[in-house]
Structure 1
């Protein structure tokens, strides 16, 4: 199973299906999502969608969202028993959520209900066949203890009010993990995830990720995490290929004090407290570096030894006159093209 998340086609509130168009997109291996914001749009179309789901794989998804001023009746999904990728998200209210657990063919579930009525919904045995799961709740605290039985799960996005986060450490097939709006909870369980390749921390709050020991993670993102100020263990990510750090105002320095031989791309964006990035010569594969809206002095920064592999450097402060001069310097150094 390989869902093409990067090439999505969304069909909004269709009154009838353009089957030829949908199947053309699916044949191009695009992820087609047929989505509905109100019951008036899907009253008679769901049986036809189910027949389509029976013929296609996980790249065909069905989404129910919005339903403003209404409570979504989850019994609706029983009309599409062949659905493999299901989004029940961006909803305030929903009822009969146990109906979701009766979908035998489900491989990916995105469940984001503000007032989720069943904090233990993940106990369902049918869910243990899931390969991908997004779970987010704002009102009730979702019990993640049940994840211990999810032996097929390779992608997990968890956020909001959750507990027993350490149960994630039992997911020995997990390759992708995003922790969203989760604050201060220790993440030592990540050290058990030997197959993990992508790790994201988005929103929430924590000072560091110092519990994480040497690992095989290739893609790391730390975005708008409140209080994040210490990244001294950055070289523990020895297999890192891509690094994104964004909106981290309390982080003031990054030092690559040991080689990271596979790191190819770095983006440091809107980190206004960041004053120094050193040790770049320890990155023999780095070819792309983006630095935007930091407190790094360009002249001091550019004076350090840079890896020979670095072919593109974007450095901007948002001050137009200064940025114009910086760009001229980078063009002269061969680190930017005239058209960029």
Structure 2
């Protein structure tokens, strides 16, 4: 199938998959009796440039697998790319560690206290564990850090003006010593709701507003819409520099667990990445990382992942499209 045909097939099968799930899968089969979707559908680009329907199921129950099989039967196995993702969750880190020393060396993916600030280091709201500083952006003429809602805000109880720490609390950061920014804006996440982006920005002041803008591939100031199959990389607080491949685009009904306060949220139009190395592309604490093509063009903001799945079995990573993230704040990459 070409891209247009694959998109049409996805649209035609989306309602069928949801209705089938409601008939076949019992509420008791999903966590807490949740009515969240059990199947995500998107597009998977092949090496020859053609597309398949990406079919993703997160639960290994026979009832869920039967839904996936019936959807595939509608189009034939040659036109489907089917994977079990395992359970997907937001990737912050919940392990609290002693306060570390200041780090000034140019190593990447740090859990320490890093000055000047740079992409890939530990950061988080004063009441959040730790995630990753993904990028620096300009909004209304001022410099901000960009990361996830669940990294820079954490919960609906957080307020504009709250302190953001570097390193994050899980890495020993504390206020006021490690306060580097204040929460400025966020895209709200509704408990057990549906969204497209998990993002927030925090405003920098003074000398901190003159950060180190370099990534492993140099400075990143441009964005692109993914087509699928791209080789990508990221620099994150936990797994540092990793490499991967885009395995699906435009994924709808991606269900992500956020814990008791927010529950399970469903996301549409997401990007899926698998590792091309021996280890995972991301782990807890990498949330907020900027994902970029190998030529240094930004494609998305990392926000979630699974512990299983992918060709090497180390898990799959989920990414918000970067243009949707930036548009939410009227932001530009620095």
TM-score (norm 1): 0.21
Structure richer in helix, relative to its length: 1
- Higher-Rg structure is 1
